[in-house]
Structure 1
Amino acid sequence: MAEAERTIGTPDVDDDGTAPAEQPRGRRRIVALFAVAVAAYVLDLVSKIIVVEKLEHREPIQVVGDLLTFQAVRNPGAAFGMGEAFTFVFTFIAAAVIVVIIRLARKLYSLPWAIALGLLLGGALGNLTDRIFRSPGVFEGAVVDFIAPAHFAVFNLADSAIVCGGVLIVLLSFRGLDPDGTVHKD
């Protein structure tokens, strides 16, 4: 086994060079990752289609008094509208995140990590779809945001999936659970 694989604990092969007994379990985790990603992506995509059709160029809808409104906003930048001139960079970063998650998926043996990475993947795909296909053009598109809490930035379901996935990854890391299903105590 390669030293790097031994260090990060990837179970491609056991110490004796044979395949680990838990290989089928790993495949199920990949299915979970992609199921969560597809669910997050579809919910985001459908919500944005509805927002563009029903809410864009109209008055915001009050959901919970002044605390929460739905209001269509096109955001070419990142969180809080920062970096509007760097849309292409955000597109590249989202694509890189997607590639890294897909590469990591083949060594995924942990259901909580599959859920976390699935949320990240679905959210990244949702916002990447906007950046590629929405106006003003390919790789320069503005993301559709619509959830507007009082005194906070306007965001969308993809952003929520990314934040929830990120928080879950931090919690899993603090608990010592690795993507390959091993637990370490530091």
Structure 2
Amino acid sequence: MNSQPTLRRRALIAGGVALAAALSDQASKIWALGALDDGQRVPLIGKWISLVLIHNSGAAFSLGSSATWIFTILSVIVLVALVAYVKRGCSAATAAAVGLLGGGAVGNLVDRLIRPPGIGVGHVVDFINYNDYFIGNVADIWIVLAALWLAVIAARTPSPVPQGQATSDPSREPQAPPSVKAGFSSSTLPQDPADEHNA
């Protein structure tokens, strides 16, 4: 069973991982904006992975491109929920995974807050092209890895045993006769004189 660290330690773990994830994402986007032209393709691993700079107004796979502000609000809600989860209590590994998930969310949220065309509706910088299937960024990688990490933690965490099944109910156990409970059997009990006479 995973030990549960103190709130301070959980906050340091989650916050540190989140900060590192968000900074690495933003640093990679700054590099992409300076090194790549819009639509330019730079092959990395054959046809499977290449660099293509785009500005995404939606979510993953460019879904909801006309509702950027909705994803901004959802990102804030998710971050608040993650903070509440860490505060409530979790293992160090879970805190790190939650921090990685939060850092990825922060990385894309920063784009929506500071990038054109405006606050809350900014376009997310995407530049990692996966065989033309979709184009993402480093924040997306952190989010996927965090989700897989949390799934592994959940799969390895034993399910709690209901209290009614953990201990037997004495009232449901078969009760021995009082004589047996006292250490006597029917053969050791004194016989009725009438029974001896009949015998």
**Is the pair's TM-score, using the shorter chain for normalization, greater than 0.5?**
yes
Q: How far apart are 1:159 and its partner, in Å?
A: 0.8
| 1:11-41, Cα deviation, whole Å (9 max, x unpaired) | xxxxxxxxxxx88644222211111101100
1:45 aligns to 2:29 (yes or no): no
What is aligned with 1:111? Answer: 92
1:79 aligns to 2:55 (yes or no): no
- Please give the secondary structure, in 2, of the residue aligned with 1:70: strand
1:30 aligns to 2:11 (yes or no): yes
Larger radius of gyration: 2
Structure 1 residues without counterparts, runs of 5 or longer = 1-21, 178-182
Taking every aligned residue pair, what percent have the same amino acid on both sides?
34
| 1:127-171, Cα deviation, whole Å (9 max, x unpaired) | 000011111111111100111121421000111111111122222
| 1:73-114, Cα deviation, whole Å (9 max, x unpaired) | 111011111111111110001001111111222233412111
Q: Distance in 1 between matches of 2:107 and 2:5?
A: 29
Q: How far apart are 1:185 and its partner, in Å?
A: 5.8
Q: How far apart are 1:61 and its partner, in Å?
A: 1.3
Post-superposition, which runs of at least 4 consecutive aligned residues in structure 1 deviate over 6 A?
none
What is aligned with 1:98? Answer: 79
Q: Distance in 1 between matches of 2:136 and 2:39?
A: 17
- Which TM-score applies when normalising by structure 2? 0.74
Structure 2 residues without counterparts, runs of 5 or longer = 163-199
Number of residue pairs the alignment of both structures matches: 160
1:159 aligns to 2:158 (yes or no): no
Is the contact between residue 176 and residue 185 of structure 1 (CA under 8 Å) also seen in structure 2? no
Q: Distance in 1 between matches of 2:130 and 2:78?
A: 27
Task: Give the 3 Å change call, closer, same or farther, for CA 58–174 of structure 1 in structure 2.
Answer: closer
Q: Distance in 1 between matches of 2:43 and 2:4?
A: 50
Counterpart mapping for 1:140-179 below 5 A: 140-176=121-157
Q: How far apart are 1:54 and its partner, in Å?
A: 1.2
